């Protein structure tokens, strides 16, 4: 039996909304009961999916997809373009739900709403052009024509994590729909109600609801069925899970976009504006309590400004406000699950046991809420410890000095991940030169992560263990399509006519090739 939704006076109004959203989820598996991080109250009673439920969802999505794909791209864009305004109009409802399910600070919930709205507007405006047939140069000008067509994949499987449930759902689902596909979406069970809310908003904008199927369940239970029923996979989550799902997709010879973990470095050069860098580093490290794949978990500071930077940074960290209130009074919110709290405390404890120095924080804060943890800064972190080598995914950062650019690049590139990096300098040219040497899919100059991430026209993805493929950019839409080339010849060009001399035919083709080259046509 699922416990009832909280009814105490302290429960926010959104608790009842979340419970109602959970009732809209279909599934015949065991009930799941995610807990609100601020209070540990039940968020909703969610029926999980069996493999049979997933297969049925894929069938329903495929049945709905044909008529949707038959619509003109501009008509699909009009439908999903309306989501932009709806998200902004209903931002307070969205922020309440995001805080209730994730425990993040309200300012960080607002950033998520704005990001989701921005993605909708960006792709709705550009989809008709990006999906339109393209004329390409033919083998012989005037005598051949070539067109590239874009066809939807069919059914796209989207798997999203709990840390940015609105932003990441919309960022992957909406482009897939704009491209003419249907979607079967497995959000993390912890934040399934946000996905259900986003689907309801899209339905209000005019999207046929059958096009966006939502299922929840443990990855090992539903993952194989999800990949088996799909024509493309978009996954955001851990590197370990990405390996498993990537192999499943490869076995079926379907495409995949895997956005995985990171151990991102923030590099402060000797000529950096120290005050600005310290303020930016706080945002880069502790947005959403560090539960962000693009967050900085390593700060590398030139020895010449190390002490000055550290003083400013620690002063700012010490003043961060932690709160479980549904208002803008908090600088940082809660961790989302007991598992994340355990991971954070384990990483810190091991680092301290092996010689790390605690510069700030280091303790859980149950006096504020059951899953709160102080923002924590460490120094002298030893290689081989989890904090040094693994993604912590919490409010923990290590700081260490370097002495020249070569050492900074070596330290920043040390490790298998390559998702995001940040470089701080007063010299744009110097920062850009160092950025180009970093093994990261995105590098932000004088910002932590937001500049690159919200530049929707630019691709966003990782290297190495941080994943394959990209979201955003033209590829973030076109990845959900199959290309087809249609070529036509106006006359017989390549074979000699019956009875003609083959030698003379090859001479004519050679002369034609030389002429094309001279005219810049070949």
d(CA 51, CA 59): 12
Residue 88 belongs to a domain with what CATH number? 3.40.605.10
> Do the beta carbons of residue 296 and residue 282 sit within 8 Å?
no
478: Cβ–Cβ under 8 A, 6 or more apart, which residues? Answer: 130, 131, 150, 179
C-beta atoms surrounding 434 within 10 Å:
21
Residue 138 in domain: yes
> Do the beta carbons of residue 404 and residue 424 sit within 8 Å?
no
Do 221 and 73 fall into the same domain? yes
3-state class (DSSP) for residue 234: strand
For 53-94, the DSSP string reads HHHHHHHHHHHHHHHHHHS-HHHHHHHHHHHHHHHHHTHHHH
- Tell me the pTM: 0.95
Token duo for residue 370: 């059951």
Token duo for residue 338: 């007991």
The tokens 């370097």 sit on which residue?
A: 402
Residue 497 in domain: no
Do 280 and 342 fall into the same domain? yes
pLDDT in tens, 136-155: 988 877 778 999 999 999 99
Do 254 and 216 fall into the same domain? yes
The tokens 């910002």 sit on which residue?
A: 447
Domain ranges, residue 448: 264-456
Residue 299 in domain: yes
Residue 49 in domain: yes
pLDDT at 516: 79
Residue 521 in domain: no
Token duo for residue 176: 């897939």
Do 174 and 307 fall into the same domain? no
Residue 494 in domain: no
DSSP state of 4: P
Do 106 and 239 fall into the same domain? yes
Do 402 and 423 fall into the same domain? yes
Do 379 and 397 fall into the same domain? yes
d(CA 126, CA 77): 9
3-state class (DSSP) for residue 255: strand
d(CA 216, CA 26): 9
Do 428 and 294 fall into the same domain? yes
Do 179 and 215 fall into the same domain? yes
Do 330 and 445 fall into the same domain? yes
Do 73 and 114 fall into the same domain? yes
Is 297 a residue of the active site?
no
C-beta atoms surrounding 357 within 10 Å:
13
pLDDT at 521: 75
Do 237 and 330 fall into the same domain? no
Select which of 101, 112, 259, 391 is catalytic: 259
Of 464, 481, 498, the one marking the end of a domain is: 481
pLDDT at 6: 55
C-beta atoms surrounding 81 within 10 Å:
19
Under-70 pLDDT residues of the chain: 1-11, 491, 493, 522
Residue 368 belongs to a domain with what CATH number? 3.40.309.10
């Amino acid at each position: 039996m699922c416990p009832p939704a909280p009814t105490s006076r302290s429960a926010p109004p959104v608790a009842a909304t979340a419970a109602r959203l959970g009732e809209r989820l279909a599934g015949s598996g065991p009930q799941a009961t995610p807990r609100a991080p601020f209070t540990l109250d039940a968020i909703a009673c969610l029926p999980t999916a069996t493999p049979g439920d997933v297969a049925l969802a894929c069938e329903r999505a495929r049945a709905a997809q044909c008529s949707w794909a038959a619509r003109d791209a501009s008509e699909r864009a009009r439908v999903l373009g309306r989501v932009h305004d709806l998200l902004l109009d209903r931002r307070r409802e969205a922020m309440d739900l995001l805080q209730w399910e994730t425990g993040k600070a309200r300012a960080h919930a607002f950033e998520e709403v704005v990001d989701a709205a921005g993605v909708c507007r960006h792709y709705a405006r550009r989809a008709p052009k990006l999906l339109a047939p393209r004329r390409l140069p033919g083998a012989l000008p005037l005598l051949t024509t070539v067109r590239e067509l874009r066809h939807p994949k069919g059914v796209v499987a989207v798997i999203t994590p709990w840390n940015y449930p609105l932003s990441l759902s919309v960022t992957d689902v909406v482009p897939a729909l704009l491209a003419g596909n249907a979607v079967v979406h497995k959000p993390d069970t912890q934040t399934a109600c946000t996905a259900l809310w986003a689907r309801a908003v899209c339905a209000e904008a005019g999207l046929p609801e059958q096009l966006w199927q939502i299922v929840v369940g443990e990855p090992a239970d539903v993952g194989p069925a999800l990949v088996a029923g799909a024509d493309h996979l978009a996954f955001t989550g851990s590197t370990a899970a990405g390996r498993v799902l990537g192999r499943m997709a490869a076995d079926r010879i379907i495409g995949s976009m895997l956005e995985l973990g990171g151990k991102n470095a923030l590099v402060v050069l000797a000529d950096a504006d120290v005050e600005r860098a310290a303020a930016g580093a706080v945002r880069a490290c502790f947005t959403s309590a560090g539960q962000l794949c693009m967050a900085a978990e390593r700060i590398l500071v030139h020895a010449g400004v190390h002490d000055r930077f550290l003083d400013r940074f620690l002063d700012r960290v010490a003043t961060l406000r932690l709160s479980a209130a549904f208002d803008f009074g908090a600088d940082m919110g809660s961790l989302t699950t007991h598992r994340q709290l355990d991971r954070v405390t384990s990483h810190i404890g091991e680092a301290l046991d092996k010689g790390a120095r605690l510069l700030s924080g280091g303790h859980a804060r149950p006096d504020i809420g059951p899953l709160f943890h102080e923002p924590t800064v460490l120094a002298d972190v030893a290689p081989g410890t989890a904090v040094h080598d693994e993604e912590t995914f919490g409010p923990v950062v290590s700081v260490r000095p370097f002495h020249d650019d070569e050492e900074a690049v070596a330290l920043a590139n040390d490790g298998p991940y390559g998702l995001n990096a940040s470089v701080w300098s007063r010299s744009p040219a110097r920062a850009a030169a160092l950025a180009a040497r970093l093994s990261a899919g995105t590098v932000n100059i004088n910002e932590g992560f937001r500049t690159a991430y919200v530049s929707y026209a630019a691709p966003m993805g990782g290297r190495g263990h941080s994943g394959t493929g990209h979201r955003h950019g033209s590829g973030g839409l076109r990845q959900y399509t199959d290309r087809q080339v249609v070529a036509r010849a106006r006359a017989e060009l390549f074979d000699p006519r019956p009875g003609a001399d083959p030698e003379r035919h090859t001479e004519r083709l050679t002369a034609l090739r030389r002429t094309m080259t001279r005219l810049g046509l070949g």
